[in-house]
Amino acid sequence: MKLITTITALVFLASIQTMAQKTLADATKGKFLLGVAVNSQQVDGVNPIETELIAKEFSAIVPENCMKPQPIHPEENKYVWDSADKFVAFGEKNKQVVTGHCLIWHSQIGKWFFIDADGKDVSPEVLKERMHQHILTVVGRYKGRIKGWDVVNEAFEDNGTYRNSKFYQILGKDFIKYAFQFAHEADPNVELYYNDYNVETPAKCDAIVQLVKELKAAGCRIDAVGSQAHWHMNSPTVDATETSIKKLKDAGVKVLFTELDISILPSPYDGANVAANFKYSKEMDPYKEGVPDSIQQKWNKRMLDMFGLFLKYNDVVDRVTLWGLTDNTTWLNNFPIRGRKDYPVLFDRNNQRKPVVDEMIKMAKKSK
């Protein structure tokens, strides 16, 4: 009798434990945060199902757009706080870890940042002070409420050279150091990240490792490098991804996968450079009516192979964030080709969890 009672109790406890890990965020607890990029309509509850899913299924959130330089600071003497304030409050209400994205980026930034009253490039001193004011004001406003900031986004080309942005043209590579110094000045306790895409490309990874070393040597705080992880069916390889994780770990920073999506569509190029754009064709949009199971299985394997890496290196991987909640809301339906149907994230167009998520939960439960 006693044995039956014990077995019943064990089965009951196991079922509680399984139920307790009913979400991927539950299953990765203690390994890494499971995040999602959130848009303003989701914060505002325009589609309550999406809002509910975000609150229930994820342990971290990042703003897809509302905290970027242009939306939050459209003119030198004008800040627009409404969406960003609501975003941070949304995360706090749902007891989620909030990341800020992004302070300094060559894209989605007001032209005013770089020009004087005559439309000419400002001096290095003026640009540096404008960066200083922007960062002190934005980081300062959310001091103590945000775990970390994407301080600088996408400063390198894939070949490891510096992107020839207006920041670089006017200030040289030191604009990055200044940004990290200003962010630390604004909130000494907030984590600071460098964020980029194609971090798995060896030349780019080496340049980022060199940047980490230079920032540390200059006494700057840098906690992690964000690998955006806008991946495709065949690139990057698992090996290249593992090599990049090891290089960053050796450089003494944590690794975040900050914008994970895996496009199932043919790609006119590998990357996430928002400036690129290509013509629509049916060949480039083959799954309008749905994804054949054989292709879906290949995508599932791709996601599971990469998720296995995150688990293998969970000592250094602190967060994995999906860049979009569902296949309906992903930016990839219109990038790099407008009007396509992509299937790159973990929830489908009916807001349903894809079967691969249950496989990921099982993997996470089994991992050390």
Query: Could you confirm whether 76 is annotated as catalytic?
Result: no
Contact 43, 87 (CB under 8 A): yes
Check residue 2 and give left, alpha or beta (phi > 0: left; psi -120 to 50: alpha).
alpha
How many residues of this chain bind ligand G3I (CB under 6 A)? Answer: 11
- CA dist 246 → 188, 207, 254, 321, 358 (Å): 28, 15, 10, 20, 28
Query: Could you confirm whether 154 is annotated as catalytic?
Result: yes
Kindly state whether residue 342 participates in binding ligand G3I, applying the rule CB under 6 A: no
Minimum CB separation from ligand G3I for residue 326, in Å?
13
Q: Between residues 108 and 328, which has the closer beta carbon with respect to ligand G3I? A: 108
Q: Between residues 192 and 361, which has the closer beta carbon with respect to ligand G3I? A: 192
- Subset of residues 67 to 86 that bind ligand G3I, contact rule: CB under 6 A: 68
**For residue 56, which amino acid is it?**
K
Residue with tokens 């079922």: 15
Residue with tokens 């002190």: 136
Kindly state whether residue 126 participates in binding ligand G3I, applying the rule CB under 6 A: no
Among residues 94, 108, 243, 351, the one that binds ligand G3I under rule CB under 6 A: 108
Kindly state whether residue 337 participates in binding ligand G3I, applying the rule CB under 6 A: no
Contact 33, 60 (CB under 8 A): yes
Minimum CB separation from ligand G3I for residue 330, in Å?
8
Q: Where are the beta strands (DSSP E) in the chain?
A: 33-38, 60-63, 97-105, 148-153, 191-196, 224-227, 230-231, 254-262, 317-322
Q: Between residues 265 and 272, which has the closer beta carbon with respect to ligand G3I? A: 272
Point out the catalytic residue in the list 64, 154, 191, 200: 154
Among residues 26, 57, 64, 158, the one that binds ligand G3I under rule CB under 6 A: 64
Q: Between residues 153 and 241, which has the closer beta carbon with respect to ligand G3I? A: 153
d(CA 80, CA 85): 9
Kindly state whether residue 65 participates in binding ligand G3I, applying the rule CB under 6 A: yes
Contact 224, 254 (CB under 8 A): yes
Point out the catalytic residue in the list 259, 283, 289, 359: 259
For residues 268 to 307, the per-residue mask of contacts with ligand G3I, x marking binding by CB under 6 A and - elsewhere, is ----x-x---------------------------------
Q: Between residues 41 and 169, which has the closer beta carbon with respect to ligand G3I? A: 41
Kindly state whether residue 240 participates in binding ligand G3I, applying the rule CB under 6 A: no
Among residues 50, 57, 187, 259, the one that binds ligand G3I under rule CB under 6 A: 259
Helix (H, G, I), strand (E, B) or coil at 215: helix
Minimum CB separation from ligand G3I for residue 263, in Å?
11
Number of other residues whose CB lies within 10 A of the CB of residue 132 = 16
Strands 33-38 and 317-322: parallel
d(CA 346, CA 355): 9
Kindly state whether residue 26 participates in binding ligand G3I, applying the rule CB under 6 A: no
Kindly state whether residue 228 participates in binding ligand G3I, applying the rule CB under 6 A: yes
Residues 6+ positions from 272 with CB-CB distance below 8 Å: 197, 198, 228, 230, 259
Where on the chain is the footprint of ligand G3I (CB under 6 A)? 64-65, 68, 107-108, 153, 228, 259, 272, 274, 331
Point out the residues that are catalytic: 154, 259
